[in-house]
Amino acid sequence: MPERTATIIKPISADRKTTLDQRIEELRVREPVDINHGEAILFQGIATASLKKQRIAQGKIDLD
């Protein structure tokens, strides 16, 4: 029987190479980009979903 080796699992969160303040500054100096109506709707949906109140109850995550 072959010898089994341990599985190496990558961490869920990656180390940031830049700080949040550096990233904000990069985005502020970047040229604006035109988007179409469909992309605007998509971004609005992503933003709305990320702002929904999240609760963990009885082993489940409820999104209000």
Per-residue pLDDT reduced to its tens digit, 16-58? 678 889 989 999 999 999 999 999 999 999 888 877 766 665 6
Is 56 a member of any domain? yes
- What pLDDT does residue 34 have? 94
Cβ proximity of 43 and 52 under 8 Å: no
Residue with tokens 């341990």: 6
pLDDT band at 13 (very low <50, low <70, confident <90, very high): low
Q: Would you say the C-alpha torsion 56, 57, 58, 62 has a positive or negative sign? A: negative
Q: Which residues span the domain enclosing 45? A: 37-64
Is 48 a member of any domain? yes
Is 58 a member of any domain? yes
pTM over 0.85: no
Q: What's the domain count of the chain?
A: 1
Res. 2: pLDDT tops 70: no
Amino acid letter for position 1: M
Is 28 a member of any domain? no
DSSP secondary structure letter of residue 58: T
Is 57 a member of any domain? yes
